[in-house]
Amino acid sequence: MDRVYNFSAGPSQLPLPVLEQAQRDLVNYPGAGCSVMEMSHRSKPYQAIIDTAEKTLRRIMNIPDDYAVLFLQGGASLQFSMIPMNLARQGQTTAYAVTGQFAKKAWEEGKRWGNAVAVVNGKDTNFARIPEITPDMIPQDAAYLHITGNNTIFGTTYNTLPDTGNVPLVCDLSSTILGKEFDVSRFDLIYAGAQKNMGIAGLTVVIVKKDRLTDDLDPVIPTMLRYKVMADNGSMYNTPPCFAIYMAGLVFQWVEQEGGVKALEERNTKKAYALYDYLDQSQVFHPVADPKDRSIMNVTFTLPDDEQTAAFIKMAAGRGLTNIKGHRSVGGCRASIYNAMPMEGVQKLLQCMKDFEAGLRE
């Protein structure tokens, strides 16, 4: 079987040059005499790997010096818990924009720790759009406003960041980090699971303003869940996810070689709008997300019924276009077109949609 165009939301397609580099290094990493998987995380070659990964990420995201970069485990989902525990006192007010399933999960975890208030809840519009947020809607004593930068399941995104007044912004960028430019200084904290646009599962990247790091936390908070401990130990308080960090480092280098995040954002916009332009005039396929909130990373669409949806997914799979079935909670289809998805893959999907529609007309 040839390599497919994999439209999975995550774990997702990786750039081929990254896989090939990993393959070359797999058995014997240059100068180490063993693989990255067998190396001590305290060894010189490994320190170089993690340092280079961090430096490259700092360059491509333009991360200011007053921010720490942490390489953690537990997925983006563990951040739902770590964020309130590290940035808010127990019982303190925190604010959440509930714009999708992951946003809701973050809010639920926030409620375990503090007075987590949903500033908006997109449930009434089936999460097809991002409700407007203005400073007067946010409790101004909140420790932060948590937003989900890109709603992976529904295919919506913040095309402009909300004005929060004096409340710091915390953002889940799992499905859009490195796919789109962000001004890191707008946020107190950014986090993302690596398996969508930065590499493989097992690594979560947290970018946090250093002045939010403190030892003065509730004693019940476990050592492993304290940002300050992780920052003070260079993400190596314990064994880090060594191989996942190495893979992310390769992806960061690839992003740089491709012209950086800005160049990829332009490419991603072209890919997404090739699909949206077709969806907007199709008689069979219908876009899900509100036009102003469309994601360039996850394009969601529906067909008139389940039978046609299944037939289309089957036809696409037959052409080597896989994982376009929508999330089980939304149905329909979803094409996740992260950085590693080339324009050719999108063109093939587009052709498949056109052929499917033409076939129905015959």
Ligand X SMILES: *Cc1c(COP(=O)(O)O)cnc(C)c1O
Q: Which residues bind ligand X (CB under 6 A)?
A: 10, 75-77, 102, 148, 152, 172, 174-175, 193, 196
- SS3 annotation, 227-250: HHHHHHCCCCCCCCCHHHHHHHHH
Of 53 and 72, the one with the shorter C-beta distance to ligand X is: 72
Contact 284, 139 (CB under 8 A): no
How near is the Cβ of 106 to ligand X at its closest, in Å?
8
Cβ–Cβ < 8 Å for 60, 261: yes
* Nearer CB in complex with ligand X: 257/329: 329
CB of 203 to ligand X, least distance (A): 9
Which CB, 102 or 182, lies closer to ligand X?
102
Q: Minimum CB separation from ligand X for residue 153, in Å? A: 7
In this structure, the chain runs to a length of 362
Residue holding tokens 């190495």? 246
Nearer to ligand X, 69 or 297 (CB): 297
Of 29 and 127, CB closest to ligand X: 127
Residue 357: CB atoms within 10 A of its CB come to: 16
Q: How far is the CB of 75 from ligand X (least distance, A)?
A: 3
Single-letter residue type at 12? S
**SS3 call for 165:** coil
∠211-213-217 over CA atoms, to 5°?
Answer: 130
In the complex, the smallest distance separating the C-beta of residue 318 from ligand X, rounded to whole angstroms, is 28
Minimum CB–partner distance for residue 204 and ligand X (Å): 6
**Helices 242-257 and 16-25, axial angle in degrees (round to 10):** 130
Position of minimal CB gap to ligand X = 75
Alpha-carbon distance values, 235 to 59, 82, 226, 249 (Å): 19, 15, 11, 15
d(CA 99, CA 107): 10
Q: Which is nearer to ligand X, 152 or 300 (CB)?
A: 152
Q: Which residue do the tokens 């947290």 mark?
A: 206
- Specify the 3-state DSSP secondary structure of 356: helix
CB of 147 to ligand X, least distance (A): 10
Specify the residue, 146 or 212, whose C-beta has the smaller distance to ligand X.
Answer: 146
In whole angstroms, give the CA distance from residue 208 to residue 170: 9
